[in-house]
Amino acid sequence: MYFVSWVTHIDNHVLLERNLMAEQFSHLPPLESPYGLSDEQVKKYQTEGHIMLRGLASPEEVAAYRPYIRSVLEEVTERKAKQGRPGGYASFFAQVTNVWRLHDAALRFVIARRFARVAAELMTAPGVRLYHDQALFKPAGGKATPWHQDQVYWPLDTPRTITMWMPLIDLTREMGTMVFAAGSHREGPLTQLAISDASDAFFDRLVRDRGFSLQSYDLKAGDATFHAGWTAHATHPNSSGSVREVMTIIYYADGARIVEPDNEYRRVDMEAFHPGQRPGEPAASALNPLLYSKVG
């Protein structure tokens, strides 16, 4: 493993000082070239709270990074290392958080300018910071992930938060792809419930009662969905015989501030993902590098 501890602050910006072209990873694609996002796609995201983008990364680009992301997940789960927030999610997926801090190859993937720029453009934000990443591998036979809203966990004062969800292999819906309640983000926080049977029951009723359109997609490796922090979503169960391999990256608009946690999940997240920071401060710890800025 190649562990990283290289982030420093300069004039309120984050300088990524490690040599990302280290010889052992010089063969990896840089993921810097822009993706041709259209005005119609931005409008769709703003209206529906999610979007699916074909070919955000090529199959070849994803294949180059996949072995390193898999190796981190396998090592962490084998050690049964506890990470991030508490929770009993093992029946839904194997999860490793902040993969970018555990391997230089995963670092290159997570800080990719192409991905961060798309996140900023979809949110119409001048820049975006990293909240955290997650490798989410749903085992064969894995249960459906219950309905929930992500931002119930996040102690941030902005609705401009977004998650990129990219499969590392081709996925059909039978393998556990996402299901989105289109337009639900416009209603903001709908419950304080975290991922659980209770949140699943709550949103199942709410989606039916309010008539939200449900949308899901088959995806190729390198396709990606993006969804807002308040978009209600779930996943299908993995009824296939293969592991569903997905890498996610969570971004938020630069300039956001930390809010006083109003639940235990946000308190834990503030301590885990904004170490040393307090409510009212700009959300810009050493774990939240600025990944894209129009002026940078």
Place of tokens 């230089």: 104
Q: Is 248 helix (H, G, I), strand (E, B) or coil?
A: strand
Q: How many domains does the chain have?
A: 1
All residues at 6 or more sequence positions from 148 whose CB lies less than 8 Å from its CB, including other chains: 193, 194, 195, 196, 199, 200, 203, 232, 233, 234
Any idea what the Cα angle at residue 86 is, between residues 82 and 90, rounded to 5°?
75
What is the DSSP code (8-state) at residue 144? P
pLDDT, greater one: 2 or 100: 100
- Residues 39-65 have a mean pLDDT of 98
- On whether residue 15 sits in a domain, the answer given is no
The number of C-alpha atoms within 13 Å of 107 and in the hemisphere containing its C-beta is 22
- On whether residue 1 sits in a domain, the answer given is no
- Band (24; pLDDT cuts 50, 70, 90): confident
- On whether residue 115 sits in a domain, the answer given is yes
- On whether residue 224 sits in a domain, the answer given is yes
CATH number at residue 249: 2.60.120.620
Question: Are the beta carbons of 192 and 261 closer than 8 angstroms?
Answer: no
pLDDT of residue 139: 93
pLDDT of residue 22: 53
The pTM of the full predicted model, rounded to 2 decimals, is: 0.90
Question: Are the beta carbons of 180 and 52 closer than 8 angstroms?
Answer: no
- On whether residue 26 sits in a domain, the answer given is no
Distance, CA of 274 to CA of 85 (rounded, Å) = 13
Angle, helices 39-48/113-123, rounded to nearest 10 degrees: 70
Characterize 222-246 residue by residue with b for buried, 16 or more Cβ atoms within 10 angstroms of its Cβ, and e for exposed. Answer: bbbbbbbbbbbbbbbbbebebbbbb
Range of the structural domain that residue 88 is part of = 41-293
Place of tokens 């391999």: 245
- On whether residue 78 sits in a domain, the answer given is yes
Residue 82 has pLDDT above 90, yes or no: no
- On whether residue 36 sits in a domain, the answer given is no
- On whether residue 271 sits in a domain, the answer given is yes
